[in-house]
Structure 1
Amino acid sequence: MSDTTVNVRYMVDDVEAAIKWYVDHLGFSLLSSYAPAFADVRRGQLRLLLSGPTSSAGRPMPDGEKPQPGGWNRIHLIVEDLAAEVARLKAAGVEFRNDIVTGPGGSQILAIDPSGNFVELFQPARH
C-alpha cells in the first residue's frame, strides 16, 4: 500500500454482514477476510478495518470494558517498531488505554490524546 492510504478501524458486531454492507452499499472492495474476527475493505485511499468481537482489537481492556461499535472508532497509524514507539511515547508522558496486544495481523496499542480520543499504533505482522 502507498503512504497515502488512510486506515480507519471500526468495531462491528458481525464481520460478514459489515463486509456485505460496505461492499454492496458503499462501493468498497474486499481486501482480506478472516471472518468472524476481522476483514479489511478499501475505497480509494481509505482502508477500513472491520474488527469483530473475536478480533484482537475486540479483547477486553485491563478494567474489563469491551470495545464496541460506535465509541471505539479511531485513527490507525502504522509504525515500524511498536515496542520502541511505545517506550518513546511513555517517556514523553503519553498515556495508553491498554498494553500491546497481538493478533494474526500484527500488534497494536491505544494511545489516549489530551481529549480522551484513541489513536491506535499498529505494527503489521511480518510474513
Structure 2
Amino acid sequence: MTGFAENRHIATVALVVDSYDEAIDWYVERMGFVLLENVDLGGGKRWVTVAPASGRGARLLLAQASDEAQRKSIGNQTGGRVFLFLETDNFARDHAAMVAKGVEFREPPRLEPYGTVAVFADLHGNLWDLIEPKG
C-alpha cells in the first residue's frame, strides 16, 4: 500500500499556444478533436480544453501565452523531443486523414517492436507521435 488512491490518472495536460482560437481551429479541424470547454475567465484568459472524439485519455488545456517567457516556450515545451503520443486503433486511416488535413509529418511511418509510428508537428512545431500499438 502506497498511501495513494488507486484510481488516479492524468486528466489534463497544459499546452502553451499563441492564440486560443487558432489552436482550437487546428485541433478540431486538423486533428479531429472536440472542443470540450471554452470558458471566459476574464482579463483575456479562457479555460479551453480539447480532446480526441473518443473521450479516452487526457485532454489538452490550450493555454494562451501571457508573457514573454511563456511565448518563448511555444512549440518547444520539451526541448525538441516528442511531447505527446496520440494512440489509434488504425494507423493507416488516421495518418491518411491527418495528411489530407495538412498535418506535417516529419518522417514516413515506421514499424517498431511496440507498433506503427510516425512523428508529426502541431501548429506550433511541438512534436507528437501517432502510434498504433502492437497487439
Larger radius of gyration: 2
Relative to the length of structure 1, the TM-score reads 0.43
